[in-house]
Amino acid sequence: MTRDDLFNINAGIVKGLCAAIAKYCPNALVNMISNPVNSTVPIAAEVFKKAGTYDEKKLFGVTTLDVVRAKTFYAGKAKVNVADVNVPVVGGHAGITILPLFSHATPKANLPEDDIKALTKRTQDGGTEVVEAKAGKGSATLSMAYAGALFADACLKGLNGVPDVVECSFVQSTVTELPFFASKVRLGKNGVEEVLGLGPLSDYEKEGLEKLKPELKASIEKGINFANKS
């Protein structure tokens, strides 16, 4: 089962929950972790728009697990302490839409191109690896909880005025031509303070970015259509 197969079940659940959010806590920061995130975030945006409560600064798709995976795999390959590693992951949260930017990874390790390609694929397939290993008994649970807690904590720090809280998240965006995109986001007292750009990309990353756009666009449109039709 892919994240997209989950669409028919989760899209309806998310729609219902978002209607309740619009009614009972319209000013909340919403951290959407339910899959397929590439579609559930646009669904939430449409529900909030219809309810008149949409604030693009307060809706986040949680892609932190992709960052956790990219950091972990990079640290293993580069033989550095994972606690010191930073790797931005952009795009979306499914397969090739997950684009780790290892050219921005710190500490620098100058890994060969083949290693970068293998690390990229492992990061993109990380969720599927777990789903297949659990053979029908669900997806990543503890690592999802860890990633969700990290992101929620970052949001709380932002709300509390801690300066320079930057995390990757799938948000309304003008970084590309797509209406939603994951990139680094500065968090503040109102949620998104600034959506940061991609910075320079390697040729491999540029290629990955172009490849992911049609799939991400289709998933976003699927969410918008679902929210507006049903």
Ligand X SMILES: NC(=O)c1ccc[n+]([C@@H]2O[C@H](COP(=O)([O-])OP(=O)(O)OC[C@H]3O[C@@H](n4cnc5c(N)ncnc54)[C@H](O)[C@@H]3O)[C@@H](O)[C@H]2O)c1
List residues binding ligand LMR (CB under 6 A).
3, 35, 65, 127-128, 130-131, 139-140
CB of 92 to ligand X, least distance (A): 11
**DSSP line for 144-161:** HHHHHHHHHHHHHHHHTT
Asked about 104 being catalytic, the answer comes back as no
Site for ligand X in 117-146 (CB under 6 A): 138-141, 144
21 vs 78 by CB, closer to ligand X: 21
62 vs 192 by CB, closer to ligand X: 62
Please state, as a whole number, how many other Cβ atoms lie within 10 Å of the Cβ of residue 98. Answer: 27
Largest pairwise CA distance in the chain: 52
For 32, 81, 98, 210, the CA distances from 213, given in Å and listed in that order, are 21, 33, 11, 6
**Residue 56 CA to chain centroid, in angstroms?**
15
Site for ligand X in 21-60 (CB under 6 A): 33-35, 37
User: Which of ligand X, ligand LMR, none binds 62 (CB below 5-8 Å, type-dependent)?
Assistant: ligand X
CB 185 within 8 A of CB 169: yes
Catalytic choice (3, 15, 57, 93):
93
Secondary structure element (H or E) that encloses residue 193, with its range: strand 191-195
68 vs 154 by CB, closer to ligand LMR: 68
147 interacts with ligand X by CB under 6 A? yes
